[in-house]
Amino acid sequence: MARALYTDPKIILADEPTAALDTDRVEVVGKLLQSIAHEQHKSIVTVTHDLRLKKFADHVYDLVDGKLSKSY
């Protein structure tokens, strides 16, 4: 993550950022990404199967059979 943030991008694309992490570390990463998005006004797109990150998201979308829909 540090390497990706070093260049101070406006948009961050995170592909499975918590794939191999335990729940405590998922909380740390989720809070960090949320903080970066809100405090530094960055857009973060996270693609994941890890539903533990859902509570840190402002918007959640599902991709099923090639169709994107907003999750409620």
Domain total of the chain: 1
Domain that holds residue 16: 2-70
- From CA 60, how far away is CA 46, in angstroms rounded? 9
Question: What pLDDT does residue 48 have?
Answer: 96
Per-residue pLDDT of the chain (72 residues; tens, 9 = 90+): 889 899 999 999 999 999 999 999 999 999 999 999 999 999 999 999 999 999 999 999 999 999 999 997
Question: What pLDDT does residue 1 have?
Answer: 86
Question: What pLDDT does residue 23 have?
Answer: 97
Structure tokens at 37: 């998005």
Q: What is the pTM of this model?
A: 0.87
Q: What is the CATH number of the domain that holds 36?
A: 3.40.50.300
Question: What pLDDT does residue 4 have?
Answer: 86
H runs (alpha helix) in the chain? 2-6, 23-39
